């Protein structure tokens, strides 16, 4: 990034033709620089500098003005909004200019700004200046970046939470806890026992373990946060003609997948975003799982098995259309057992047994089949983690998937834990996760040193590394290449 003392500008809205283009400028003494080119709406009078500077400096000021270039040629009539330093996004003077949304007009404005000594901003440079000027910390800046790029409602919630400083407050609280421990150690390094009391590092262990516990809870929010940001992955799996594609279309409410009565119609994995009750899911339709000699279908089955491995929720769709009533329970159990033997289920996955074509069943039959009975459960593969299985059957049809939708919402709430609440902090980047992991590692090493009755200087050094790692989540990063890496992912104009 270039010097923070020069004035920068960028188009802060898409460059396509639209109603307006919004241009953002940040720097020092902007009104003085740009005022010779700002005219009153009649186009004759140049606005005086005090027209802006005499106004209250704690509020933005908007004016309808004309902008002309150095030759007096009209660029556009615009809305100019002035945000005086330091009460602006960047902490510097900021001007935002809304012009008519023609790229040619924007190009003329940019030409003027370059000719009067400003330069094009680099990606994320406005937000970087906000961080460097103390308007935001680094965690909040990452929250802003995610707020712009996330594609889910859950991601917006987490990003908004981070921008509001919830993560910053939690890391600061833990850092203060570590500073208290460091103060004790430093006191016994610098002063004699008759001045500060006997040295008893074991008394620090409860505080250190408490800090680790808080950090481990924070670390756990990264994977839960991924589910919120990217959506819970729901895979519809089962044998050919089980009704997966019909259910897929029904949930999406439009015909996305081809549906026929020919087994093996679906040959590839289909994926779409699904929102239920403001909960984000990634819904995945898969090829029917069976042994086949068809090369293309075999590739589809392989992709289905790979999809099962990455899914958060596995909906095993079973068609009992041609099964006699007295054999249905055994048939479902057989299908479940076969599926469990064919795939590897992880402990953090959930399996829903989904019975398709409920419209072909009587209500009394559905009622009698709602749950796997205890004897049936005992017959399931002993290596299988029963916590993965939701023992209540879900019945669906083309016209009725409400039970499944509600169960998906329930599981979403279970998997994302308390992150849906605004007051709970969450890690939203791998950088933040790495810093917390380092902090935990250092604290565990420090605990070992305390238990070994090592020197306080050594213990203090390790704990200080943990403190510094936490501090780097919100700031205190002075390496230019690290800052450039973070802000290079931002939009130009942000």
In this predicted structure, the answer to whether residue 302 has a pLDDT above a threshold of 80 is no
476 is in an annotated binding site: no
In this predicted structure, the answer to whether residue 92 has a pLDDT above a threshold of 60 is yes
Cβ–Cβ < 8 Å for 428, 143? yes
- Torsion sign (Cα): 380, 383, 389, 395: negative
* Beta-strand relationship, 313-318 and 232-237: parallel
What's the pLDDT score for residue 481?
Answer: 47
The stretch 260-271 carries a mean pLDDT of 61
In this predicted structure, the answer to whether residue 209 has a pLDDT above a threshold of 90 is yes
24 is in an annotated binding site: yes
Cβ–Cβ < 8 Å for 68, 39? yes
Phi and psi angles of residue 93, each rounded to the nearest 5 degrees, phi first: -60, 135
264 is in an annotated binding site: yes
**Strands of 93-101's sheet, edge to edge?**
38-39, 61-68, 74-83, 93-101, 18-27, 8-11, 119-120
Q: Give 86's DSSP letter.
A: T
The stretch 106-116 carries a mean pLDDT of 96
Q: Which residues pair with 74 in a beta bridge?
A: 68
Q: What is the pLDDT of residues 436-452, one digit of tens each?
A: 999 999 999 999 999 98
Residue-range domains of the chain with CATH: 8-133 (3.30.1360.120)
Identify which has the larger pLDDT, 155 or 198: 155
The stretch 84-91 carries a mean pLDDT of 92
What's the pLDDT score for residue 167?
Answer: 94
What's the pLDDT score for residue 210?
Answer: 96
SS3 breakdown of the chain: % helix, strand, coil, rounded to 5?
Answer: 50, 20, 35
Angle of helix 205-230 relative to helix 430-451, nearest 10 degrees? 160
For the entire predicted model, the pTM comes to 0.79
263 is in an annotated binding site: yes
Q: Which residues pair with 318 in a beta bridge?
A: 355
Closest CA to 90 of 7, 1, 2: 7
How far is residue 4's CA from residue 128's CA, in Å, rounded to a whole number? 9
Q: What is the pLDDT of residues 464-485, one digit of tens each?
A: 999 999 999 997 644 444 445 5
Residues 6+ apart with CB under 8 A from 400: 358, 359
Mean pLDDT computed over every residue of the chain = 83
288 is in an annotated binding site: yes
How far is residue 240's CA from residue 223's CA, in Å, rounded to a whole number? 33
265 is in an annotated binding site: yes
The stretch 42-64 carries a mean pLDDT of 69
In this predicted structure, the answer to whether residue 487 has a pLDDT above a threshold of 70 is no
Q: What is the pLDDT of residues 394-435, one digit of tens each?
A: 888 878 889 899 999 999 988 887 776 667 899 999 999 999
In this predicted structure, the answer to whether residue 192 has a pLDDT above a threshold of 90 is no
How far is residue 412's CA from residue 193's CA, in Å, rounded to a whole number? 55
Residue 326 corresponds to which tokens in the numbers above? 């007295």
Instruction: Label residue 172 by pLDDT band (50, 70, 90).
Output: very high
Q: Which residues pair with 94 in a beta bridge?
A: 26, 83
285 is in an annotated binding site: yes
pLDDT above 70 as % of the chain = 80
What's the pLDDT score for residue 1?
Answer: 42
pLDDT above 90 as % of the chain = 45
Among 147-151, 256-260, 327-331, 453-457, where is mean pLDDT lowest? 256-260
Q: DSSP states of 432-461 as a string?
A: HHHHHHHHHHHHHHHHHHHHTT--HHHHHH
What's the pLDDT score for residue 486?
Answer: 45
Residues 6+ apart with CB under 8 A from 228: 152, 154, 155, 157, 158, 280, 416, 419, 420, 426
In this predicted structure, the answer to whether residue 3 has a pLDDT above a threshold of 50 is no
244 is in an annotated binding site: yes
Instruction: Label residue 364 by pLDDT band (50, 70, 90).
Output: low
- Burial of 208 from C-beta contacts in 10 A (0-12 / 13-18 / 19+): buried
What's the pLDDT score for residue 482?
Answer: 43
494 is in an annotated binding site: yes
Q: Count the neighbouring beta carbons within 10 Å of the beta carbon of residue 452.
A: 9
What's the pLDDT score for residue 133?
Answer: 92
- Torsion sign (Cα): 141, 142, 143, 144: positive
In this predicted structure, the answer to whether residue 205 has a pLDDT above a threshold of 90 is yes
295 is in an annotated binding site: no
Residue 444 corresponds to which tokens in the numbers above? 């565990």
How far is residue 230's CA from residue 7's CA, in Å, rounded to a whole number? 37
Instruction: Label residue 191 by pLDDT band (50, 70, 90).
Output: confident
87 is in an annotated binding site: no
User: Which span out of 283-297, 351-365, 479-493 was modeled with the highest average pLDDT?
Assistant: 351-365
Q: What is the pLDDT of residues 213-243, one digit of tens each?
A: 999 999 999 988 888 888 999 999 888 878 8
49 CB-side CA count, 13 A: 7
266 is in an annotated binding site: yes
91 is in an annotated binding site: no
Phi and psi angles of residue 236, each rounded to the nearest 5 degrees, phi first: -95, 115
What's the pLDDT score for residue 387?
Answer: 81
């Amino acid at each position: 990034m270039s010097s923070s003392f020069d004035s920068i500008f960028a188009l802060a809205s898409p460059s396509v033709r639209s109603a307006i283009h919004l241009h953002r400028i940040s720097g020092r003494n902007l009104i003085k620089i740009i005022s010779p080119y700002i005219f009153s709406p009649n186009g004759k009078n140049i606005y005086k500098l005090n027209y802006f500077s005499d106004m209250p400096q704690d509020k933005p000021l908007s004016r309808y003005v004309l902008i002309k270039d150095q030759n007096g040629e009209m660029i556009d009539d615009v809305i100019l909004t002035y945000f005086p330093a330091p009460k602006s996004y960047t902490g510097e003077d900021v001007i935002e200019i809304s012009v008519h949304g023609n790229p040619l007009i924007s190009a003329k404005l940019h030409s003027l700004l370059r000719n009067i000594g400003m330069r094009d901003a680099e990606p994320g440079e406005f937000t970087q200046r906000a961080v460097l000027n103390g308007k935001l910390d680094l965690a909040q800046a990452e929250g802003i970046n995610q707020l712009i790029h996330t594609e889910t409602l859950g991601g917006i919630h987490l990003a908004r939470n981070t921008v509001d400083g919830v993560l910053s407050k939690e890391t600061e609280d833990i850092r203060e806890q570590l500073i208290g421990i460091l103060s004790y150690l430093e006191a016994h390094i610098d002063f004699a026992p008759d001045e500060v009391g006997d040295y008893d590092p074991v008394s620090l262990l409860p505080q250190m373990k408490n800090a680790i516990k808080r950090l481990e809870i924070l670390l756990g929010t990264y994977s839960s946060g991924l589910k919120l940001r990217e959506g819970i992955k729901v895979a519809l799996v089962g044998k050919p003609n089980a009704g997966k594609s019909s259910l897929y279309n029904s949930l999406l409410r439009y015909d996305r997948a081809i549906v026929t009565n020919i087994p093996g119609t679906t040959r590839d994995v289909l994926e779409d975003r699904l929102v239920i009750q403001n909960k984000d899911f990634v819904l995945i339709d898969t090829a029917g799982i069976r042994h086949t000699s068809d090369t293309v279908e075999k590739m589809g089955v392989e992709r289905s098995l790979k999809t099962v491995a990455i899914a958060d929720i596995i909906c095993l769709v079973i068609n009992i259309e041609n099964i006699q009533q007295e054999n249905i329970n055994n048939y479902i159990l057989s299908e479940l057992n076969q599926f469990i033997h064919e795939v590897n289920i992880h402990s953090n996955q959930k399996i829903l047994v989904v019975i398709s074509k409920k419209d072909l069943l009587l209500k009394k039959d559905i009622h009698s089949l709602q749950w796997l009975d205890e004897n049936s459960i005992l017959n399931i593969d002993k290596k299988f983690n029963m916590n993965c299985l939701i023992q209540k059957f879900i019945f669906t049809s083309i016209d009725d998937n409400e039970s499944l939708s509600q169960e998906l919402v329930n599981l979403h709430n279970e998997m994302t834990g308390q992150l849906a609440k605004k007051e709970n902090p969450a890690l939203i980047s791998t950088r933040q996760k790495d810093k917390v992991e380092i902090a935990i590692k250092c604290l565990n090493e420090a605990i070992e040193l305390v238990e070994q009755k090592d020197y306080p200087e050594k213990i203090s050094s390790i704990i200080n590394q943990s403190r510094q790692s936490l501090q780097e989540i919100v700031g205190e990063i002075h390496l230019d290449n690290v800052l450039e890496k973070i802000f290079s992912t931002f939009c130009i104009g942000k």
